Amino acid sequence: MALHLVGETLDKTRSHYMAETGKLVQLMRGIYVDAGDDIDAVVLRHAVRIAKYLYPQAYLSGASAALLGPTRDGRLFLSARRKQRTRIRALEIIQNEAPKQPSVGDAVVDDGMGEFHVRVSSIRQRFLEAFRLRSEHAASIDEEMRATIAARLIEEYGSPQAATDALWTLARESGWYREGEAAERYLRHKPSATPTKNEAALDLIVAWHGVSIGHLLHDGFEWRWQPSGGEGPPLIRQTTPGKLPPFIVSLLPEGWLENILKDKDERTLLRSGKRYMSNITIVEREAELAALPLDVLLTRLDQHSSNGAFTGGYAGPGRSEIEANFEANLALIYQRADTPRLSGVQIKAPMYLDPEGVLTPSTGKPFTHILKPAGTSGYDALPLVEWTAMALGRAAGFETYATALVEMPDGMPPALIVERFDIRERPEDTRMLALEDLCSVLELPTVAKYSSSMERVARAVRPLSTAPDNDLLIIVKRALFAWLIADGDMHLKNMALLKIAESGEKQFRSVRMAPLYDAVTTRVFPNLKHDRMALKLNGKDDNLRRADFRALATTAGLRARDADAAMDDVLQRMLGAVDDLSLPAAIRLTDDMRKIVASVLDICRARILSFT
C-alpha cells in the first residue's frame, strides 16, 4: 500500500501521467494512491501524514493528540486558525479553532513511509480540551483517556493542587476560563462513584471440552460473541449482529424441555443450564468449569445389550402410584443446572452408563447416552419404531450409533437408549469434536427447520466437507432412505456435520456428515397417515421417483452412474433387511406394538418394490 504526495514522493508531471494511465488514483489535489490498493486502508494508515501535508500549520488535538492517529471510526482531530472539515474516503479531518496561545509539543510518527515530526497538544492543553463546551474534540476524549491525562498531570506536578495551578496558567493565557474551572473540579473533586451498571447484563463463558473459547455478552439489549483467540479451530461465529450465534441457538432446548423449563427467553435458558451437546459448557464463572464432568464414553452400550435389548440396570426416573406422571418425574432432573440440556421436541433424558452397566441420569456425571421414553396419545410405540428405523438404516449401510430397547419400571412401555457419537471415547482421547446441525450451518432459526430443501443442504455441505463427493452421496442416500421408511421428520436439525480436530490444531481435520440419527417412520402414528417428506427435493415432498433423486444428485454435482449405484445399493440392502428384521425377544411388546412395526415394514417393502 502506497501513498503519493506531489512535491514529496513524486513530481507534478509524473503524478498527472500516472493518473491518466490508470496507475494512480487522485484523492484530492496533490494526494494519490496506487490504483490496485485498498484506498480506505491507505488513507487511514497515513492519516496524520495527509493532514500535515494539507494543513502544515495545524497540530493534533483532542483524542488524536493521545492516539497520534485517527480514532477507530476514522476521525482525525486538528486545531488551527479556523474551523473546517475535510472528508477523504474513510477519513474525516475535523479542525477546530486553536486558542491564541496554544501549548504544543513535538511527536514522532512512523506510518510505514518513514518517521516524521508532527505538532500535538501538550498534556496540559489536552486536558483543558477535554472540558470544552459543545466540542467534538472534547467528546473524542473518553473517560478512560481523561483519567489517564489527569494521573499524568498529578505525577508531573506532584499533587492535584499543583496540577490545577499549572492548568490555570494556561487557561488564562488561552481565555479558557470555563474549561479551567471544569478541569479544577475534576482534579480536586474527582467523582469516586463507579459508573452505573446494568445488573441485567450477562457475561457467559463458553467452553469446548472444558477449555474456554470465548464469551457470550448481553448488555440488556443484544448479544455479542467475543472469541478468546486461543488454540483450536473456529467453532462459533456470530453471523447477525446482536443475535445469538446460530451454533448456540442450535443447542438450546425446544419443545417439551423448553416447556418444562417454563421460560423461552434466551438469557434465562442459558443461565438455567450449563451443559450442552457438542461438548459445550456455558457458565458465568470460570471456577464452575472445573466442577463439571467431561463427557467421555467409558462404557459401550454393546457391552450391556444383546439382540437389541438392554441387559444392564436402569436407575432412571420411573412412574409410581403416588407420582402424577412420568414426564413430571423426568422434569425434576432438569431443575439442576448441571443436567445437560437437549434440543428436539421429543421427550429425552441425558443418561450415564457406568462400567457396571447401570444407567442413571447424568446430573453431575458424564453425559454418554440419551434415553427416549415412550410418548402418550398413540405414541407408545415411538421408541420401538425408531429402533426399527435405525436397524434398517444400519442394514442399509449407513453409519449409525448403538441403540437398544430398555424395559421400563412401573409398567411403562419400553424406551430407547442411544449412544452418543459426538464425544471422546476414552480418557486419553484428545480429539475436539463438535456436532453442528444443518439449521446452524444454514444460519436458520430452529422454527425454520422444515423450510428448506435437500438441494440447499447439498449446496451447503459441499464447500464445508473434507470429503465432499462422499458426503453428497450420503445426502442422496439419506433422502432416499427417508422416503423408503416414510420418515416425515428428517428436517434440518436431524442432519448434521460432525467436525473433528486434533488438540492444538487451528482447523478441523475432518468435517463429515454425521451418522444417521433420529430416523423414524412417521406415517404409522395418529394423524400422520399422509405425512410427507420434511424437506423437498426436486420441488416435491411426496410421490417421489428415481428421477427426483437423480435430479438431486445432478444439483449436488454427482455423476449419474455414481448416484444410481448408491441408490441401488441402498435398495438391495433394504429389501433384505425388511425381510430379515426380528424384534428383541427379551422386550415385552404388546400386539399393537407388533402391528405398528409390521406396518412400518409393509410401507418400506412397498416403496422399495416401486423403485426396483
DSSP 8-state code for residue 230? -
Average pLDDT over residues 466-478: 95
Parallel, antiparallel or unpaired: strands 313-314 and 358-361: parallel
- Least confident window among 37-41, 49-53, 263-267, 470-474: 263-267
Helices (H), 263-359: 266-272, 287-291, 326-332
How confident is the model at residue 194, as a pLDDT? 53
Instruction: Return d(Cα 438, Cα 433) in angstroms, integer.
Output: 16
255 pLDDT higher than 90: no
Average pLDDT over residues 280-301: 92
Side chain identity, residue 520: V
552 pLDDT higher than 90: yes
Above pLDDT 70, what percent of the chain? 92
Q: What is the pLDDT of residues 121-178, one digit of tens each?
A: 999 999 999 998 888 888 889 888 999 999 989 988 988 999 999 999 999 998 899 9
Judged by DSSP in three states, 83 sits in coil
Could you give the C-alpha distances from 418 to 121, 314, 415, in angstroms and in order? 70, 14, 10
470 pLDDT higher than 90: yes
How confident is the model at residue 39, as a pLDDT? 86
- In a 13 Å sphere around the CA of 353, the CA atoms on its Cβ side amount to 26
- Least confident window among 120-124, 219-223, 316-320: 316-320
**Residue 262's pLDDT band (boundaries 50, 70, 90)?**
low
Bridge partners of 359, per DSSP, are 314, 353
Q: What is the pLDDT of residues 347-402, one digit of tens each?
A: 788 899 999 999 998 888 999 999 998 877 778 899 999 999 999 999 999 999 99
**Residue 333's pLDDT band (boundaries 50, 70, 90)?**
low
- Least confident window among 220-234, 288-302, 414-428: 220-234
- Write down the number of H helices and E strands in the chain: 21, 25
Beta strands per DSSP E along 174-274: 202-208, 211-218, 223-227
Above pLDDT 90, what percent of the chain? 57
Q: Are 333 and 311 in contact (CB under 8 A)?
A: no
**Residue 196's pLDDT band (boundaries 50, 70, 90)?**
low
70 pLDDT higher than 70: yes
Beta strands per DSSP E along 362-401: 369-372
Q: Are 190 and 150 in contact (CB under 8 A)?
A: yes
419 pLDDT higher than 90: yes
| Per-residue cell: 342 | 437437549
**Residue 263's pLDDT band (boundaries 50, 70, 90)?**
low
Could you give the C-alpha distances from 532 to 227, 485, 487, in angstroms and in order? 41, 11, 8
How confident is the model at residue 330, as a pLDDT? 53
Q: Which residue has the higher pLDDT, 53 or 90?
A: 53
Q: What is the pLDDT of residues 492-504, one digit of tens each?
A: 999 999 999 998 8
Could you give the C-alpha distances from 560 to 172, 397, 567, 574, in angstroms and in order? 87, 20, 11, 21
Q: Are 386 and 400 in contact (CB under 8 A)?
A: no
271 pLDDT higher than 90: no
How confident is the model at residue 320, as a pLDDT? 46
484 pLDDT higher than 70: yes
Q: Which residue has the higher pLDDT, 609 or 344?
A: 609
Q: What is the pLDDT of residues 20-67, one digit of tens each?
A: 888 888 888 899 998 888 888 899 999 999 999 999 999 999 999 999
How confident is the model at residue 232, as a pLDDT? 79
How confident is the model at residue 341, as a pLDDT? 57
**Residue 561's pLDDT band (boundaries 50, 70, 90)?**
very high
Instruction: Return d(Cα 162, Cα 155) in angstroms, integer.
Output: 10
- Least confident window among 152-156, 333-337, 455-459: 333-337
**Residue 528's pLDDT band (boundaries 50, 70, 90)?**
confident
Q: Are 281 and 293 in contact (CB under 8 A)?
A: no
Q: What is the pLDDT of residues 504-516, one digit of tens each?
A: 888 899 999 999 9
Q: Are 405 and 384 in contact (CB under 8 A)?
A: yes
Q: Which residue has the higher pLDDT, 58 or 334?
A: 58
Q: Are 477 and 562 in contact (CB under 8 A)?
A: no
Taking phi first (over 0 means left), then psi (-120 to 50 degrees means alpha), and beta for anything else, what does residue 397 get?
Answer: left
Beginning with the edge strand found earlier in the chain, give each strand of the sheet holding 280-283 in spatial order. Answer: 223-227, 211-218, 202-208, 280-283, 275-276
Q: Are 499 and 434 in contact (CB under 8 A)?
A: yes
Could you give the C-alpha distances from 181 to 39, 124, 140, 172, 177, in angstroms and in order? 44, 14, 20, 11, 6
Instruction: Return d(Cα 417, Cα 349) in angstroms, integer.
Output: 10
How confident is the model at residue 133, as a pLDDT? 83
Helices (H), 442-581: 454-461, 468-484, 546-555, 560-580
